[in-house]
Amino acid sequence: MSREHIVSIDQALCNKCGACEKDCVFRAIVLTEAGAEVTGQVCAKCGHCVAICPENAVSMSGYEDVPEEIPPDFRLDPDDLLKQIKFRRSMRSFTDEEVAQEDLDKILDAGRFTPTARNMQGVSYVVIRDNIAEYERIAVSVLRRIKPLADPLISRYRNFTIDDDFFFKGAPLAIVIRANYELDGALAASLMELTAQSLGLGVLYSGFFTRVAMMSGKIKRKLQITKRDRIVTTLVIGHPAVKYKRTVQRESARVLYD
């Protein structure tokens, strides 16, 4: 976390139900005669106490947004959600239409609210948009230099051509996901892609750009990659130039029931 967050409990609102105490995995809240109180012990700042309080008596400082009320009957249709997952395709052909800032904000919010280990919230994002052509140029130059070295070792590399749109495929933007812990960044990327798909956008996980970026000192400096960070993945995002008609097959799930 980059900011300090302090849990506070309004005793005037607390009804002494004990829900926050029971739901606190770190036992950082205790129920007293006066009401629930923060003990000052280790707290992950996970916000469960804020979310579960029926009286909205618990708050946490240091955030710009405010908690949203969850409608009691809110639920995603599971069949529609599964269809969205099945219908997705890796997009490699984009129109030149810009991605609306409102849609981009929703995609970033999906990453922001993705759970992280120990609630560290150590995932950050670089939106490559205004200077996407410059990043493409640098990355293409690097890959063209190293491709002759990779050709004899990895046969599949011999069959592609590195054109001037090799990495971003003409898309208007890409989001580089940086994280202290790789799993945190990967989970964020998955939900960000799902959100982008729900907005009618196409997404490509650019493994090539991610690898080249980690090899290029110039790109790492532009992305402000520190020793603690690593580039987990890169989402190339734009409006699809092609429309797929059906799902594709997958092998049966390998599941062990024990």
Cβ pair 189, 197 in contact under 8 A: no
What pLDDT shows up at residue 117? 92
Cα 225 from Cα 20, distance rounded (Å) = 38
Min mean pLDDT across 114-123, 146-155, 160-169, 229-238 is at 146-155
pLDDT digits (tens, 9 = 90+) for 51-80: 999 999 999 999 999 999 999 999 999 999
pLDDT surpassing 60 at residue 89: yes
What pLDDT shows up at residue 105? 98
Radius of gyration of the chain (CA): 23
DSSP the chain: --S---EEE-TTT-----HHHHH-TT--EEEETTEEEE--S------HHHHH-TT--EEESS-SS-PPPPPTT----HHHHHHHHHH--B---B-SPPPPHHHHHHHHHHHHTS--GGG---EEEEEE-TTHHHHHHHHHHHHHHHHHHHTTT-GGGGG----TTTTTTT-SEEEEEEESSHHHHHHHHHHHHHHHHHTT-EEEE-HHHHHHHHH-HHHHHHTT--SS-EEEEEEEEE-BSS---S----PPP-----
Min mean pLDDT across 35-44, 98-107, 189-198, 216-225 is at 35-44
Say which residue, 148 or 153, is predicted with more confidence: 148
pLDDT digits (tens, 9 = 90+) for 222-251: 999 887 778 999 999 999 999 999 999 999
Q: If pLDDT is split at 50, 70 and 90, which confidence band does 151 have?
A: low
What pLDDT shows up at residue 44? 87
Q: What is 7-60's CATH number?
A: 3.30.70.20
Q: If pLDDT is split at 50, 70 and 90, which confidence band does 150 have?
A: low
Pick the CATH number of 78-238 from 3.40.50.10470, 3.40.109.10, 3.30.2040.10, 1.20.1250.20: 3.40.109.10
Q: If pLDDT is split at 50, 70 and 90, which confidence band does 147 have?
A: confident
pTM reported for the whole predicted model:
0.91
Average pLDDT, the chain: 93
Domain limits, the chain: 7-60, 78-238
